Amino acid sequence: MDTDFILNKFGFLGKDFSNEINKHSIISQIKAKTEIVREGQKNKYIPFLLKGSIKVFTLNDGRELIYYYIRENDSCMMTFSSIFTDCVSRIYAVAEEDSEVMLIPISVVHEWLIKFPQINRLFYSEYDRRFSDVMNMVNDAVFHRLDKRVLNYIRQQISITGNNPIKLTHREIASHLGTSREVVSRVLKKVENEGEISQSKEGIKIPESKNVSHV
């Protein structure tokens, strides 16, 4: 168990809660591109991401609509919210890279909400961040032109993975942004001619002077 993670995330709840974490948590290693949960599946655990990144999204006619990315030390609030209803997942979650996750059984979380009511501070904070992520996604989709959305998505992936250039196919970008591969190819050619990106065998690169994160 990552002691620093427990202290940073749950230290305000005291030693008794740390003992609970050690008693009930399950550490799972997840390979990149592995589906963790799917829509309609019964949730059994609340995940906390220790390492890696996880994409949370929904599907519509085979196209993805990304809600947010879970980053290190974060949890999935849409999974947490399901424990107050039927525990059925309303989202898909896939590991973007090799990841390490701490899983807490939902039955245990129910007990903690009564035994350690201060834990709600943690979940309210997580809700606030995830709500901001979803609002940013909506604003991007409604108010930004597609070339801006494509550039923001590439910057986001560079920020998450730390890779620049980054390996992204035109079809993958199109799926994530709810458009077609042909449209994305035209947009990428346009922004490449404008000097916003370069494309090579190594992937898509954004010059350091233009790589300002919008996530």
pLDDT tens-digit series, residues 4-61: 777 778 888 888 888 888 899 999 999 998 999 999 999 899 888 999 989 888 887 7
* Edge-to-edge strand ranges of the sheet holding 45-51: 26-30, 99-105, 45-51
Give CA torsion, residues 105, 106, 112, 118, to 10 deg.
110
Q: Are 56 and 78 in contact (CB under 8 A)?
A: yes
pLDDT band at 198 (very low <50, low <70, confident <90, very high): very high
Residue pair 37/91 in contact (Cβ under 8 Å)? The answer is: yes
* Mean model confidence pLDDT for the chain: 84
**Residue that the structure tokens 């994160």 belong to:** 213
User: Cα(178)–Cα(175) distance, rounded to whole angstroms?
Assistant: 5
User: Do residues 144 and 150 touch, judged by C-beta distance below 8 A?
Assistant: no
Q: How far lies 104's CA from each of 24, 43, 79, 111, 119, in Å?
A: 7, 11, 12, 11, 14
**CB hemisphere CA count around 21 (13 angstroms):** 22
